[in-house]
Structure 1
Amino acid sequence: MAATPAPTAPTPTGPAPSSASRSAPSRTSGPGGTGGPPALRAAALVVALVCLLPLAVVLTKAFESGAAEAFSLVWRPRVGELFRNTMALVVLTGTLCTVLGVGAAWLVERTALPGAAFWRVAFVAPLAVPAFVNSFAWSALVPGFEGLEGAVVVTTLSYFPFVFLPVAALLRSVDPGLEEASRALGYGPWRTAVRVGLAQVRPALLGGVLLVSLHLLAEYGALEMLRYPTFTTAILDQFEVAFDSRAGSVLASVLMALAATFLTLELLARGRARHVRVGSGAARRAPRARLGRSMPLALLAVGALAALALGVPAWSIGTWLSRGSEAMTSTDLGRPLWSTVGLGLVAALVTTAATLPAAWLVARSHSRVAVALERVTYLASSLPGVVVALALITLTIGVARPLYQTTFALVLAYVVLFIPRAMVATRSAVSAVPPELTDAARALGDPPMRAFLRVQVPLMLRGTLAGTALVFVAVSTELTATLLLAPTGTETLATAFWDASASLDYAAAAPYAAALVALSAPLTYLLLRGTTEEARP
């Protein structure tokens, strides 16, 4: 049947196409342009330079005596031992997190496992327990729990949700028609799982493993408590014991090179292939596989994983809380709690404000300059907290002495470390607000600032506050930068817990551990809610 020609007359509900195309450049610029007001670009550039500052300071300090001496510090047996320890931990923990994260995600999202909603929460909840609190729980429960074996167990149970979350979200939203087409072409279930299923979850899996690897490079508290030396623990030892910031900077440079290597390997592993679909796909969930006789074994597996990841820290903390009633009465939770909340709120608000210029430019102009400024913040945040703290100590002592061990320097470290957590949420919130609404407010007579406050802020507030909350939770559990940069007399829940646990006073440390878990719990809710909503068909 012949198609009916579309009418060519313009409709009365909008401007003609020619006028729309003429007005577009005034709001945004093309991909190759710079885009955005000059003041906004300048503010984003300042934030990017601040984020790059720790990297530049560490490299300058490491090579200030010449490249030959720096390389002589690198080519030492001790550095080789630290490298082997770090790589062994990354390889073993990364492998176990992959197996547990993908296996748990498949059981929860693609099989008829009873209680899928409960297991989904249980496998995200370990993120509410900081790794150093987890190591405290295992050390208090199992005497002599240390070394590589202990480090692998604790870090795996703490970080496997980083793999579970993205893989489960993707499995929940994947188009079942692709697998059905593969089966119709004669491929069996295992070949379909490898050729279709694995290809679809590969980007999420690689991103999760990258997050695990970067967290392992930055981890200090759990590994120090388990007496497993890595680059991060050695850097802090160089500063606190030997007061040798140059040797620490050399080790930090090696750690930065490892982080850059992991980022590059993840990019290469992703390749140039793109896994996208045109259209909405099949508007239904993928059919769940029946487990049959394997059901008891699957329930035993997921129950054991949840018990090890959540049950052990909960039982250990609860036991020491019940045993240490006298210690609890003498424990002053008020001061570290208020310090943690105060630093978290200030750092979260400052970090969110710092993300606005680059997030606005990326969402509105899509220019290469805006994207480059955004990526710089991601690169800086891949540095461990000890590296950022070491750089700021070197900078404040040498250039800005009045800022040494001040709240300003500590908040600046938090901004550098956690700005991507606010950046992603803020960029999404800005993108979700149509710019035409602001144009309409301006046309009705509102000045730019009034239009922004009346139209943009209410619509982007929810997404922006989600990023602010994520930064707050990250700040409340941060340990290494806080240990090095906190002003004299400032004590947070993390540092108070660390002081008590370092002296093996588990009864005194337990209240701080419980408070840390209580403050971290919103992270579980936000992550689970966000991934669940994004994955809905």
Structure 2
Amino acid sequence: MHDTTGRHTPRLLLLAGAVVALLALVPLGYVATYVVVIGPVDLWHLLARPRIVELLTNTVSLALACMAATAALGVALAVLVERTDLPGRRLWHGLLVAPLAVPAFVNGYAWVSLNRDVHGFSGAFVVVTLSYYPLVYLPVVAMLRRLDPALEESAWSLGHSRARTFRTVVLPQLRPALLGGALLVGLHLLAEFGALSLLRFPTFTTAIYDQYGSTFNGAAATAMAGVLVLLCLVLLLAELRMRGDRRYARVGRGAARAAVPVALGRWRWPLLGAATGIVVLAVGVPAFSLLRWLLVGTSTEFPMAQLTEALVATVTLALAGAALTTVAAIPVVWLAVRHRGWASTVIERSTYVANALPGIVVGLALVVASLRLAPAVYQTAALLVVAYAILFLPRAVVTVRAGLEQAPAVLDDVAHGLGLGPLATARRVTLPLIAPSLGAGAALVFLAISTELTATLMLSPIGTRTLATEFWSASSELRYGAAAPYALLLVLVSVPATVLLMRTDTPATQTERVPA
């Protein structure tokens, strides 16, 4: 089989990508099967209700609003840090990445426990935007650091203003990072449960959870899951259309220097104030809330044995899931970037579908599949780790793809010309080039797994308790003091992965060095 460039696509690589895609499509197969069983007439009666219209409006409006807000906020903050003379830019970079260490449902808990009036669309919009904007900010920062400043200087020499240069030169280069980050935000919004449940904003995901809670494997819940799949496909097609086929790699290092920062002048203090406000809202409010409940909560307690058990289980599962997910993303990304064609596009897009489904749907799909095909793995840690890989594969795919897009394919050809085989070339040339992206992808997956709730509740072995499940048990009973120690440990567990994400944004002069 050959790709669009005429290159031969290795069969082993194609097989590996196909296996990953098929595994990722298991939840879709589960939903599709039960939708067929329901039948078109009953399906129409289940969906043609005012409640479904309300849920659809809520889900779509929140997803679009948060995607737009996180995209604008992520790009603006990335440009502020990387392209201006903002004082203490390194410190600000760390502070602006810090919200990744605060899970969305912990953020929601913080706001709701301080002010019960924070709810509905406005509350959900604020909390989710503050929680997810780093998913756009981080990849945009990485691409800005790798962008050759000579491109901008050439535009300036032709008389273009800085605004026009950014719009016509810089922004098109940021397209993969911007669209990939916004896509992740949209997919997460479709499947978000914990934060939206605490904020009392009903969407398809919260409704599905309620339905399954009252009628296990209910037809209405499955029908709504089918709608989520359709919404996911719309997002994927829109992102694919806007991404286009443009390539972004370059062989040379370009100008071996940083871009000349723009002087903020009289805008320095207002912009510093705006950045400070974002950090206070995204990090300061959760920190204050946690400390407050730890100190004054009447239900606050520190059961060390339970805390230690939940901490060990969380870290172990997150490390195993991050490793499996990152490894699974490599063949998918390699096909999508190095061997473009209809098959590689289908394989890559297939990995995104499950991310739009609630964890409870993915969990039910794996329960059914394991009981019918491999009963021995039912209710084992291995099945739970596979569920994590299915749920969070897009985080690794988007991040690793951004790195591979900028690793020149001609270096592979040179290595082949020197007698290296495909595996040796990947090991000695390409994988070292994209190592920062692999680390970033693993860190993002680790963060997601450590806070996953619904699939963990359904698939974890008997007796297994994680920080997220223990936190949810306490917070759902309004025992905010009892939930605070688990929330604090969740934040602390997330800190190393967040620091790793900060350090993987290496300059182009480092990431483009070809190993010997």
- Report the TM-score range of the alignment, normalised by the length of the smaller protein: 0.7 to 0.9
Offset at residue 296 of structure 1 (A): 1.6
| Counterpart Cα distance in 2 of 1:42 and 1:500 | 45
**Cα deviation code 1:221-279 (max 9, x no counterpart):** 00001110111111111111232432211111110111111111122223455667785
Q: Does 1:103 align with 2:69?
A: no
Match of 1:219 in 2: 192
| Counterpart Cα distance in 2 of 1:304 and 1:348 | 32
| Counterpart Cα distance in 1 of 2:41 and 2:150 | 60
| Counterpart Cα distance in 1 of 2:334 and 2:160 | 47
Normalized against structure 1, the TM-score is what?
0.81
Is the CA contact 1:170–1:535 (under 8 Å) kept in the aligned structure 2?
no
Q: Among 104, 107, 118, which residue is 1:145 paired with?
A: 118
Match of 1:335 in 2: 309
**Cα deviation code 1:30-74 (max 9, x no counterpart):** 965765465x65555433322222111111111212122223222
Match of 2:37 in 1: 64
| Counterpart Cα distance in 2 of 1:45 and 1:534 | 32
Q: Does 1:480 align with 2:454?
A: yes
Shift in CA distance, 359/106, structure 1 to aligned 2, threshold 3 Å: closer
**Cα deviation code 1:398-439 (max 9, x no counterpart):** 66666554434322211212334556659969x9999969x9
Offset at residue 135 of structure 1 (A): 0.5
Q: Among 198, 207, 223, which residue is 1:234 paired with?
A: 207
In the TM superposition, 1:255-404 aligns within 5 A as: 255-271=228-244, 279-324=252-297, 327-330=300-303, 332-352=306-326, 354=328, 373-396=347-370, 404=378
Match of 2:135 in 1: 162
Q: Does 1:48 align with 2:21?
A: yes
Is the CA contact 2:27–2:362 (under 8 Å) kept in the aligned structure 1?
yes
Offset at residue 201 of structure 1 (A): 3.0
| Counterpart Cα distance in 2 of 1:264 and 1:497 | 36
Bigger Cα Rg: 1
Out of 179-188 and 62-71, give the one that drifted further. Answer: 179-188
Is the CA contact 1:166–1:208 (under 8 Å) kept in the aligned structure 2?
yes
Q: Does 1:193 align with 2:172?
A: no
Match of 1:520 in 2: 494
Match of 2:467 in 1: 493
| Counterpart Cα distance in 2 of 1:362 and 1:492 | 35
Offset at residue 174 of structure 1 (A): 2.9
Shift in CA distance, 292/177, structure 1 to aligned 2, threshold 3 Å: same
Q: Among 381, 386, 411, which residue is 2:385 paired with?
A: 411
| Counterpart Cα distance in 1 of 2:484 and 2:50 | 38
Is the CA contact 1:33–1:367 (under 8 Å) kept in the aligned structure 2?
no
Is the CA contact 2:330–2:400 (under 8 Å) kept in the aligned structure 1?
no
Matched letter for residue 131 of structure 2: S
**Cα deviation code 1:472-510 (max 9, x no counterpart):** 333211112112322333211101000011011111111
Is the CA contact 2:302–2:485 (under 8 Å) kept in the aligned structure 1?
no
Shift in CA distance, 322/64, structure 1 to aligned 2, threshold 3 Å: same
Shift in CA distance, 298/496, structure 1 to aligned 2, threshold 3 Å: same
CA RMSD of aligned residues (A): 3.9
Q: Does 1:183 align with 2:141?
A: no
Shift in CA distance, 353/298, structure 1 to aligned 2, threshold 3 Å: closer
Is the CA contact 2:439–2:500 (under 8 Å) kept in the aligned structure 1?
no
Match of 1:9 in 2: none
Q: Point out where structure 2 has 5 or more consecutive residues left out of the alignment.
A: none
| Counterpart Cα distance in 2 of 1:367 and 1:213 | 25
| Counterpart Cα distance in 1 of 2:169 and 2:429 | 41
Normalized against structure 2, the TM-score is what?
0.84
Shift in CA distance, 144/190, structure 1 to aligned 2, threshold 3 Å: same
Out of 156-165 and 484-493, give the one that drifted further. Answer: 484-493
Offset at residue 209 of structure 1 (A): 1.8
SS in 1 for 2:464: coil
- Figure out how many residues of one structure are paired with residues of the other and give that number: 504
Match of 1:91 in 2: 64
Q: Point out where structure 1 has 5 or more consecutive residues left out of the alignment.
A: 1-27, 443-447
Is the CA contact 1:34–1:368 (under 8 Å) kept in the aligned structure 2?
no
Matched letter for residue 333 of structure 1: L
Shift in CA distance, 145/191, structure 1 to aligned 2, threshold 3 Å: same
| Counterpart Cα distance in 2 of 1:411 and 1:113 | 42
Q: Does 1:79 align with 2:61?
A: no
Matched letter for residue 447 of structure 2: V
SS in 2 for 1:328: coil
| Counterpart Cα distance in 1 of 2:299 and 2:29 | 49
